Amino acid sequence: MMSSNYPPGVTGNEYEIAGPDMESEDNRYCDKCDKKTDHYIEGYRGAVTIQCQECGDESDISDEYDGDPDKAMEDKKELDLWVQERGY
């Protein structure tokens, strides 16, 4: 019995099918525009790229997110909890 409509070798998790893991927008400083502009942020498989919506300049900010943004949020929660438990 066929469990998927995708051709062999395609899992359905491919970028073209599943899309980015994370999409966001942020107002950031752009080196090329030399001012703060709206940026489009896209995360996929731990790689996070940011694109200036004015000049289209793209850069990799994976380091900022340290891989998985969801995981980063979890870590933050755990840290908050830990700080709470310590009482300071």
Identify which of residues 58 and 80 has a Cβ nearer to Zn ion in the complex.
58
Binding site for Zn ion (CB under 5 A): 30, 32-33, 52, 54-55, 57
For residue 23, how far is the Cα from the chain centroid?
Answer: 6
Identify which of residues 49 and 68 has a Cβ nearer to Zn ion in the complex.
49
CB neighbour class for 28 (10 Å; exposed up to 12, middle 13-18, buried from 19): middle
Question: What is the nearest approach in angstroms of Zn ion to the Cβ of residue 58?
Answer: 10
Question: What is the nearest approach in angstroms of Zn ion to the Cβ of residue 33?
Answer: 3
End-to-end CA distance of the chain: 57
